[in-house]
Amino acid sequence: MTAAGDWLERRAAVGNRPFFLMVDTWDPHEPFDAPAHYVRKFWPDFDGGDVPYPPYNELDGGGDGRYKLALGRAAYLGKARMVDFWIGYLLDRLESVGLAEDTAVLFLTDHGFYFGEHNYFGKSIGWRIGPVSENVSAVGEMGRSPLYEEVAHIPLIARVPGVARGRVPGLASMPDVAATILDLVGAPPCDESVSVISPDATSLVARRDVVVTSWPMHLPGETTQAVDAASRRFSGFMPITVTSGRWSLLYSHDEGGVELFDLPNDPRQSRNVALDHPEVVHELHGRLVEYLEAARCPDVYLAPRRRVQLEATVD
**CA nearest to 177, candidates 189, 165, 164:** 189
Q: Residue 138's pLDDT is what?
A: 52
Q: Is-contact 121 114, C-beta < 8 A?
A: yes
Q: Is-contact 161 102, C-beta < 8 A?
A: yes
In the predicted structure, residue 23 carries a pLDDT above the cut 50:
yes
Q: Write out the E strands in the chain.
A: 57-58, 105-108, 114-115, 120-122, 126-130, 139-142, 156-159, 210-213, 223-224, 231-234, 240-244, 247-251, 259-262
Say which range, 68-77, 128-137, 196-205, 245-254, has the weakest mean pLDDT.
128-137
Q: Is-contact 125 144, C-beta < 8 A?
A: yes
Q: Is-contact 104 20, C-beta < 8 A?
A: no
Residue ranges per domain, the chain? 1-98
Task: Look up the pTM and report it.
Answer: 0.88
Structure confidence at residue 313 as a pLDDT band (50, 70, 90): very low
Looking only at the bridges linking them, the beta strands covering 156-159 and 210-213 are unpaired
Q: Is-contact 125 56, C-beta < 8 A?
A: yes
Structure confidence at residue 312 as a pLDDT band (50, 70, 90): very low
Give the DSSP per-residue string, 167-185.
---SB--HHHHHHHHHHHT
Q: Residue 114's pLDDT is what?
A: 94
Give the count of alpha carbons within 13 A of 303, CB side only.
4
CB atoms within 10 A of CB 153: 16
Q: Is-contact 224 126, C-beta < 8 A?
A: no
CA dist., res. 310 & res. 307, Å (int)? 9
On average, the pLDDT of the chain sits at 87
In the predicted structure, residue 41 carries a pLDDT above the cut 80:
yes
Phi, psi (degrees; rounded to nearest 5) at 126: -155, 140
Q: Residue 311's pLDDT is what?
A: 62
Q: Residue 306's pLDDT is what?
A: 93
Give the DSSP per-residue string, 293-312.
HHTT--HHHHGGGS---GGG
In the predicted structure, residue 288 carries a pLDDT above the cut 70:
yes
DSSP code for 122: E
Beta-carbon contacts of residue 75 (< 8 Å; ≥ 6 apart): 32, 33, 34, 39, 43, 46, 51
- The CA-CA-CA angle for residues 202, 203, 209, to 5°, reads 140
Return the percentage of the chain with pLDDT > 90, whole number. 52
Which is more confident, 123 or 298? 298
What is the average pLDDT across 106-129?
86
Report the C-alpha dihedral over residues 295, 297, 299, 303, rounded to 10 degrees. -90
Return the percentage of the chain with pLDDT > 70, whole number. 91
Q: Residue 235's pLDDT is what?
A: 85
Beta-carbon contacts of residue 195 (< 8 Å; ≥ 6 apart): 176, 179, 180, 182, 183, 189
Amino acid at 9: E
Q: Is-contact 91 103, C-beta < 8 A?
A: no
Q: Residue 314's pLDDT is what?
A: 41
